[in-house]
Chain A
């Protein structure tokens, strides 16, 4: 917070905090960013960016159906998220169509189904908030759900942190030493679906994949240690969320888009100036950097 006080605009930081909805938005978005950032390390290393895109889009009909039936939207989203992955696996196995094509056609199919359902089911579903997120208008029941899911994902990832790292790095070794690779595969997919569900409240379905890959990609450029990568990923995600929300408040911009843009700028900064892997390798400027 003190980072910005040099702007002499103390009010830049504090003014928004007088609004209840802003405090809630900042807190919830930081939580969601932290969860997505944590998972992001695994997804970028596993090469599941496209999978993240697929799952996050595929939850759309689940959200709509759940709202229509009065169920928790996370339940519907979760079922369709995991369902899409199962369907991708099934079609890939049973046809000669290549995997990226299968992923593309399954998630667009699910997404289209969601849009059609929204237009058919007359309810108070706000399409705009599903597609683009609405961190400023988050309801109390959504807050509870988000906190619950976020804690669940963080606990799962924390317990199986090392196993998941091994699974991403060398699944064959994991299998050879008797670790349940099947379980880890579905654990990661489950966490992905859950993170997509909470992430879509912040930035919406269309951009949630950015929350799941950009922080990890940024961190990957900055370190050669897995633990550091996770920490950097989480921090950059949280900072992006805070910046995005403040900027959108003061300049009246779309919040979800602002958060993702902040992430993209942080990535670009790392891309250009990362000590070892950046284009301009600032290595020499960091005294004692090894």
Chain B
């Protein structure tokens, strides 16, 4: 019998279930991702995409199943700054009185001392990260004054500054300009080459085909999972979206 070496997997979620006060949001979901893989998370609103992210970040507790990150517990992955979460634009308070620099610096908080005093290395990491997302001209700009695309890049920079090996991105392409979209896709290639693992949710079917090696179709549980070329079929998509034909979805999205 073949023994599985869990260390090979960045993310290994086994039969995870999440319920909110008895209401099941996600059940028996499995996901295994290796370093350098990009996986698309596709499903309807309310299908459990955000719940899946919440489970993987530890923001909600799973009621059943097991999550291993690099072969270790979620708790130690949090301590090691392994996972970075990039929220969708609607998920943050854009009127919060905070600058680009401050947001990106938050990516370093987990590895700082209790007073969160930035060291020279933290400052350098933040500078580099902001440069990579091309926001150097906006260091002290309040996030409320940024465009949707610039704000998205700010949070990507936070994930870069954190030096996480797993990136969870909630709708990374929604509400962004062409320039940001191009920059994000370039970053994806760099992340892949750096061996980072990416899980992204999206409504845009074209982006799945373009970026994702793997795709995870969910509707409360996993409908289909595998190589995008094999799994991302009209039949599977129709099942995922509760009988709505993919023609409608594709036509609607593009």
Binding site for B on A (CB under 8 A): 45, 93, 159, 162-163, 165-166, 168-179, 220, 223-226, 228-229
Contacts and interface: CB of A to CB of B under 8 A. Distances in A.
Interface residues of B, number: 35
5 contacts: A169-B93, A176-B59, A177-B162, A226-B97, A226-B102
A176 B78 contact: yes
A122 B208 CA distance: 73
Please give me the 5 A-B residue pairs with the lowest Cβ-Cβ distance, nearest first. A177-B110, A178-B78, A224-B142, A162-B116, A176-B57
A163 B93 contact: no
B198 interface: no
A176 B109 CA distance: 11
B114 A176 contact: no
Contacts of A163: 109, 116
Given A93-B21, A177-B162, A166 B58 contact: no
B97 A162 contact: no
A7 to B, nearest CB: 35
Nearest to A290: B140
Contact of A224 (B80, B91, B97, B106): B97
The A contact surface, by secondary structure, is helix
B96 interface: yes
A162 B115 contact: yes
Contacts of B91: 172
Given A176-B78, A223-B97, 17 more contacts: A45-B96, A93-B21, A162-B115, A163-B109, A169-B106, A170-B106, A172-B59, A172-B87, A175-B58, A176-B83, A177-B107, A178-B75, A225-B97, A226-B96, A226-B97, A226-B98, A229-B97
Interface of B: 21, 54, 57-59, 75, 78-81, 83-85, 87, 91-93, 96-99, 102, 106-107, 109-111, 114-116, 142, 144-145, 158, 162
Contacts of B144: 224
B14 to A, nearest CB: 20
A18 B102 CA distance: 47
Nearest to B85: A176
A218 to B, nearest CB: 13
Nearest to B116: A162
Given A169-B93, A175-B78, A176-B57, A225 B99 contact: yes
Nearest to B110: A177
A177 B109 contact: yes
Name the residue among A93, A171, A174 with the largest chain B CB count within 10 angstroms: A174
Contact of B109 (A93, A166, A229): A166
Nearest to B20: A93
A179 B97 contact: no
**Interface-centre pick from A45, A169, A173, A177 (highest chain B CB count, 10 A):** A177
Nearest to A94: B21
Given A172-B85, A223-B97, A226-B102, A178 B115 contact: no
A169 B96 contact: yes
A1 to B, nearest CB: 30
Contacts of A93: 21
B91 to A, nearest CB: 8
